[in-house]
């Protein structure tokens, strides 16, 4: 049986302006410049440059305000004021060329381009060259060809109408595998390592390393060193040297740059300096652009004031101008609000983690969650989260993402909470100082941490170890 019910629900929807502000708040400094350029392109009422003194508009502003308060409800004081847009201590406010510097961009050719250039130096016929291009196109971001050769043969048949065999493809593949970087176009990790070893001087240690990869790769990955010693009848010292050679090889010759043509450096959103124990915070100057309302749009009001007020087309023009002025004023205010929110959030983080920012000692980091900062500055947790997840601060100890300073607390014997980052730091120290012939198990690490006063369970030790990308004890074993 169907029936209709009436229910009252209270819901809250974000306005388009609120959504736009959230997006502005979320983007890092490196992207803010592009966002401002977009706004300048679509809104002619917005210009770059410091706002001009209000006196320049004094002759007409009162007339504008009186006239448009009757017809169009426009208050020029909202647009033509004397407030400075920056309003905060900004890095680079002293002037000069510092603010005009381009964002540092590192240019680099792609791995594919480099490989194709090397392919062009070989004396190949058109058929071999096309096969080589297909192979290079099959290389993934790590530098491997993980598709089997039969599939590549099918690709050549369908896309380039080239009928070939796996044997012919493999002949060209061996040529591609001679390219730089060493190990490129391998089909698996052992082949990748062997390709690199083949380019080394073929001494006894290199030959032993090759035998280990060819005949005992499984034992090597599981660190069953005694089995390898017995199998190849070598000394522990010889095995150690061979393992040292293998571990210095590159398991990912493609690296992360295979599909990148531009590398953008991290640009900090905040700059923190220590002036004789006094921490001084400033915003990166790129967060404080000089924006103003267009003077030419003010002149349009002047023209309207001296014209026939009944002109329909002119009224439509004024409505358009008003809409652009509203949008420009909102954008300038949103940039100011962004600056204010960033500064308040960072100031609260500095207050919370003051001891760390003085010395840069990880053990001084206090437990801190988003709620702590949100309550401190009187803002929503989601606002703090958006700032923390996309911003970075430059300190005397390096550049840190803001989310680095947030961590949960671990209870100690003294009844206080220790930062989980502090516990990770101590856990890493324990592992760094362990006997690598007999690495510590998670249970033993748990006991050592408990002895130091940190009440932590074995499963938490395992979780922190994994977050630090530290393998289990068996895989940390060394000769």
Q: Is 131 within 8 Å of 172 (Cβ atoms)?
A: yes
Residue 404 near residue 268, CB atoms below 8 Å:
no
Rounded (5°) CA angle 136-140-141 = 120
> Could you tell me if 122 and 235 lie in one domain?
yes
Cβ 328 vs Cβ 45: under 8 Å:
yes
pLDDT beyond 50 at 211: yes
Judged by DSSP in three states, 169 sits in: helix
Integer angstrom CA distances of residue 306 from 9, 69, 90, 309, 378? 52, 16, 42, 9, 49
pLDDT above 90 covers a percentage of the chain that reads 16
Kindly state whether residues 286 and 181 are assigned to the same domain.
no
354 is a domain residue: yes
Instruction: For residues 25 and 152, state if they share a domain.
Output: no
* Structural domain includes residue 464: yes
Per-residue pLDDT reduced to its tens digit, 130-168: 999 999 988 988 899 998 998 899 988 888 888 889 999
Q: CATH number for the domain including 467? A: 1.10.10.60
* 464: containing domain: 408-476
Instruction: Quote the number of domains for the chain.
Output: 3
Over residues 258-276, mean pLDDT: 68
What confidence tens digit (pLDDT) does each residue in 404-427 have? 888 766 655 555 556 677 788 888
Euclidean distance between CA atoms 229 and 207, whole angstroms: 15
Last residue of a domain, one of 203, 224, 247: 247
Tell whether pTM > 0.85: no
The residue from 381, 397, 432 where one domain ends is 381
Closest CA to 261 of 411, 105, 420, 147: 105
Length of the chain: 479
Q: Which residue has the tokens 């929503």?
A: 380
Q: Is the pLDDT of residue 346 over 90?
A: yes
* Residue 5, pLDDT above cutoff 80: no
**Residue that is last in its domain, among 337, 366, 381:** 381
3-class secondary-structure state, position 334: helix
Check the CA dihedral 189-195-200-201 and report its sign.
positive
């Amino acid at each position: 049986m169907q029936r209709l019910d009436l229910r009252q629900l209270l819901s809250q929807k974000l306005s388009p302006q609120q959504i736009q502000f959230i997006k502005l708040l979320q983007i890092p400094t490196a992207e803010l410049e592009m966002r401002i350029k977009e706004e300048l392109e679509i809104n002619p009422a917005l210009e770059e440059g410091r706002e001009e003194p209000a006196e320049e508009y004094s002759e007409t502003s009162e007339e504008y305000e009186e006239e448009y308060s009757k017809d169009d409800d426009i208050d020029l004081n909202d647009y033509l004021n004397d407030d400075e847009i920056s309003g905060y201590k900004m890095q680079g406010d002293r002037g000069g060329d510092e603010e005009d510097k381009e964002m540092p961009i590192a240019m680099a050719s792609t791995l594919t381009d480099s490989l194709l250039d090397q392919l062009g130096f070989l004396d190949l016929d058109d058929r071999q060259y096309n096969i080589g291009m297909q192979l290079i196109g099959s290389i993934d971001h790590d530098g491997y060809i993980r598709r089997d050769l039969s599939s590549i043969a099918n690709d050549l048949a369908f896309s380039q109408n080239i009928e070939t065999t796996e044997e012919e493809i493999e002949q060209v593949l061996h040529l591609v595998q001679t390219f730089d970087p060493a190990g490129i176009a391998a089909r698996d990790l052992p082949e990748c390592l062997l390709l690199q070893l083949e380019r080394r001087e073929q001494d006894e240690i290199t030959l032993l390393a090759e035998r280990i990869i060819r005949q005992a790769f499984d034992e090597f990955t599981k660190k069953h060193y005694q089995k390898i010693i017995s199998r190849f009848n070598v000394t522990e010292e010889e095995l150690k040297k061979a393992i040292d050679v293998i571990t210095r090889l590159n398991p990912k010759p493609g690296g992360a740059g295979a599909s990148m043509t531009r590398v953008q450096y991290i640009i900090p959103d905040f700059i923190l300096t220590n002036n004789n124990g006094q921490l001084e915070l400033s915003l990166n100057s790129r967060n404080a652009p000089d924006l103003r309302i267009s003077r030419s749009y003010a002149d349009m009001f002047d023209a309207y004031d001296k014209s026939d007020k009944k002109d329909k087309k002119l009224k439509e023009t004024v409505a358009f101008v008003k809409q652009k002025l509203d949008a420009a004023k909102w954008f300038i205010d949103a940039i100011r609000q962004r600056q204010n929110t960033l500064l308040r959030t960072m100031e609260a983080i500095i207050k919370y983690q003051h001891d760390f920012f003085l010395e840069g000692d990880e053990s001084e980091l206090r437990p801190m969650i988003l709620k702590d900062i949100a309550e401190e500055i009187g803002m929503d947790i989601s606002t703090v989260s958006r700032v923390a997840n996309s911003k970075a601060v430059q300190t005397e100890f390096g550049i840190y993402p803001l989310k680095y300073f947030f961590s949960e607390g671990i209870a100690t014997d003294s009844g206080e909470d220790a930062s989980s980052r502090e516990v990770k730091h101590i856990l890493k120290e324990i592992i760094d100082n362990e006997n690598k012939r007999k690495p510590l198990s998670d249970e033993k690490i748990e006991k050592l941490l408990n002895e130091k006063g940190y009440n932590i369970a074995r499963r938490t030790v395992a979780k922190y170890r994994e977050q630090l990308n530290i393998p289990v004890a068996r895989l940390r074993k060394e000769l």
